[in-house]
Every structure is written in C-alpha cells, then in structure tokens.
Amino acid sequence: MKFLTGIWDDLNLSARIGLGIVAFFATFAIFAPWLAPYGESEIVGDVWEDFGYFSGEFFFGTDQIGRDLLSRLIYGARNTMALAIVSTTVSFTAGAVLGFVAATMGGRVDQFLSRIVDVCISIPTLIASLIILSAVGTATSTLILVIGIIYALPVFRIARAVAMDIEVMDYVEAARLRGEGLWWLMSKEILPNAMTPLAAEFGVRFCFVFLLIASLSFLGLGLQPPLADWGAMVRGNADGIAWGFMHPIIPAACIALLTIGINLLIDRWVHKASGLRDDQ
C-alpha cells in the first residue's frame, strides 16, 4: 500500500489523469466477460439502434449488424490492448537485445546490424505492415510477429544509443577484465542502468503500436471478425454517418482517449528519466 501511495504522490496532475484513463480502460479489458452486457459477437437488436443511455436497452445503441456497441467496445478494449502489449513486448525484447549486442560487441557486428536497421527503417511503418500482412495473412500470431519486427527497429537504435553510453563506464570495463561474458555484461551491467530510459520508450512505443493496430484494423488487415477491435468498429460503422448515426464516433473517441491517457503518463516518466526538477 505504501508503495502504491508513493507512486501516486510522485505523479503530477496530468499524470494522475492519464493513470485514471488507462486504469479505466484496463479495468474493462481485464473484466470484459463480466462487465459486457452481451456477447462479443451476439446479435441482439436491429441495425444502428439509437443510443439508449440509462433509459434504453442498449447504452450506445447497436452496430451495423445489430450487435450491442457497448459490449463490442468492452471486448475491443481487451483485444486491442492485449495485442498492443504483446506486440510491444516482442518488439522491445528483440530490439533491446540486438541493440545491447551491437553496443557491447562493437566492430563489424555493430556495423552489420546498424546498416540492416538503417535500410529497413527507411520504409514507412504502415506501408511495410500493409505489404507484409497482405502477403502472409492476418492471423493474430502473424500480426504480433510483423508488428514486433517492425517496431524492433527503432527500439534497436534507442537501446544501442543508451547501451553505448553505459558500455564505456568503468564498472563495465572492470566486468570485462574479470572475464564476464556477453550475456553477463548485458543483463547485469547494462540493463539495470538502462531501465529508466527504456521504460519511458516502452510507453511511447506502446502508443505507436496501438495506433498502428487501429489503423490496420480500419483498413481490414488487423484483428478479423468476429473479434471486436476499435479500428474495425470505426470502419464497420462509418457508413452510418451518411444516415445521421454517430456510432463510429464512440470507438474513435476511445482510441483518442486511451492514447491521450498513455501520453500523459509517458510525459511524466520522460520528465523523471531526464533528471529535471519539477516546476515549483
């Protein structure tokens, strides 16, 4: 309890707002089967029924085929956030390990890995994702692997830069002189001292991954039906705008709100990692 209280006291107002937004969506994502009024793909009404709020049967109405929009939003939070977290973890694991290897070994290994990353990172992220997913399919495991590889490239550059600053320190050189191996240097000497900037970068990268997943789903190459996904929900209900229905606005607002909340938290992490003092 004291640990949680200390974290809360360390946050400024904007970070607390961000934490509240993230916690709100995370609660729905974790407890989706118990909080959703209906099933994820259950057809329960007519097409584009109006918002019910507290007086109607469906709080946010129904979607383009008669599914409860609130239930789809709740399950969409679970699916989209889980996919983003797993993909970001994959990208960070691969990118950080390769970045540490490049910085620690140096020489030809560093040059080889850096040149490959420079070439690959020159291709726009969305275009690369569309090309690869169009060729290999859109299974969930494929999505995770493709997004993980694409975003491992910028993580590699960040991890390499951080590791190179740490790698020249005396305690790393002392560990080399003791005969410690590559894995020891990376895991025991470099990683603990690189955790703060990498944690801040993890939050930034999560936002990029989250928005990429939403974009891919909007274009039809993300999570496939009947799985709920906020980007796909915007696309599926977009035709309703021509008839005066505002149903696509709700999932779009969820995407924007969660991104804002994460960025508010990240700003605080980056501020703390930079070592700057808080404004008095």
Look at residue 271 in the predicted model and tell me its pLDDT.
Answer: 66
In angstroms, what CA-CA distances link 271 with 102, 191, 196, 200, 267?
28, 20, 11, 9, 6
Question: What is the phi/psi pair of residue 62, to 5°?
Answer: -120, 165
pLDDT (tens digit, 9 = 90+) per residue, 65-75?
888 888 999 99
Look at residue 257 in the predicted model and tell me its pLDDT.
Answer: 93
Look at residue 53 in the predicted model and tell me its pLDDT.
Answer: 59
Place of tokens 């889980």: 82
CATH number at residue 90: 1.10.3720.10
Mark the ranges of the chain whose per-residue pLDDT is less than 50: 3-4, 280
Look at residue 86 in the predicted model and tell me its pLDDT.
Answer: 93
Please give the helix or strand (H or E) that residue 87 lies within, else none. helix 69-105
Look at residue 237 in the predicted model and tell me its pLDDT.
Answer: 84
Contacts of 212 (CB under 8 A, 6+ apart): 125, 126, 129, 147, 151
In-domain check, residue 279: no
In-domain check, residue 1: no
Task: Decide: 175 and 189 in contact? Cβ < 8 Å.
Answer: yes
Tell which phi-psi region holds residue 106, choosing left (phi > 0), alpha (psi between -120 and 50) or beta. Answer: left
DSSP 3-state assignment of 47?
A: coil
In-domain check, residue 25: no
d(CA 28, CA 80): 12
In-domain check, residue 34: no
The two three-digit tokens of residue 142, written as one number? 């494929």
In-domain check, residue 87: yes
Range of the domain at 155: 40-274
Look at residue 254 in the predicted model and tell me its pLDDT.
Answer: 92
Look at residue 91 in the predicted model and tell me its pLDDT.
Answer: 92
d(CA 110, CA 242): 54
pLDDT (tens digit, 9 = 90+) per residue, 138-197?
888 899 999 999 999 999 999 999 888 888 788 888 888 888 788 888 888 888 888 878
Scanning 168-225, the segments in alpha helix (DSSP H) are 170-177, 182-184, 191-218
Task: Decide: 92 and 157 in contact? Cβ < 8 Å.
Answer: no
In-domain check, residue 70: yes
Number of structural domains the chain divides into: 1
Place of tokens 């390769």: 98
d(CA 110, CA 104): 8
